[in-house]
Amino acid sequence: MHPLVKLAKDTVEQYTRTRKIIGPPDDPAPEMSAKAGVFVSIKKKGELRGCIGTFQSTTENVAIEIIQNAISAATQDPRFPAVSKSELEALEYSVDVLTEPEKVKSKKDLDPKKYGIIVKSGNRKGLLLPDLEGVDTVDEQVSIASMKAGIYLEEDIELYRFEVRRYK
């Protein structure tokens, strides 16, 4: 198991069992010391169980970003109840570390398998990670990200793309 995924798993298990927040590892993996946005996804039997993240760094490094987002994915995703102790053994984790978002001129600059997107209108933003099952076209990607932000299809939007390094 990759150290980033192990940190997410250890964080969720410790927090779910004891409500204590672990600290970053004493000897962190090289990827943990950078600053970047991070998403933590939790699945149970192949189905999404929680996913929370940040599209840009909000803490001093990736390790702390993973810890915060792992707890949020397990307890704050509005689509699911908080993870229970009885579920812990059945959970699978992945961690996505994002590149800095870059503004694009048009949908032609997007590829749902390669790039995640951010759709922005005013102060509303919707984000969708790349290479998601069932999201095969740019239009589907833009539509889902817009819906998440409460942006209507006829509104003017700005598009940003980013890449991720996915750890499982």
User: Is residue 151 very low, low, confident or very high in pLDDT (cuts 50, 70, 90)?
Assistant: very high
* pLDDT tens digit sequence for 107-125: 999 999 999 999 999 999 9
* pLDDT tens digit sequence for 81-105: 999 999 999 999 999 999 999 999 9
Residue 67 is predicted with a pLDDT of 98
Is residue 23 pLDDT above 90, yes or no?
Answer: yes
% of the chain with per-residue pLDDT over 90: 96
Same topology between domain 3-98 and domain 102-167:
no
CB neighbour list of residue 121: distance below 8 Å, 6 or more residues apart: 146, 149, 151, 155, 156, 157, 158
Where in the chain are the domains? 3-98, 102-167
* pLDDT tens digit sequence for 60-83: 999 999 999 999 999 999 999 999
Name the CATH topology of 102-167: Dna Ligase; domain 1 (3.30.1490)
Average pLDDT over residues 28-48: 95
Range list of β-strands (E), the chain? 38-44, 47-53, 91-98, 102-104, 116-121, 124-128, 158-162, 164-167
Is residue 18 pLDDT above 90, yes or no?
Answer: yes
**Beta carbons of 123 and 112 less than 8 angstroms apart:** no
**Beta carbons of 146 and 157 less than 8 angstroms apart:** yes
User: Is residue 157 very low, low, confident or very high in pLDDT (cuts 50, 70, 90)?
Assistant: very high
Residue 31 is predicted with a pLDDT of 92
Q: Does domain 3-98 have CATH number 3.40.50.11890?
A: no
Q: Which burial class, exposed, middle or buried, applies to 164 when counting CB atoms under 10 A from its CB (0-12, 13-18, 19+)?
A: buried
Residue 154 is predicted with a pLDDT of 87
Residue 153 is predicted with a pLDDT of 84
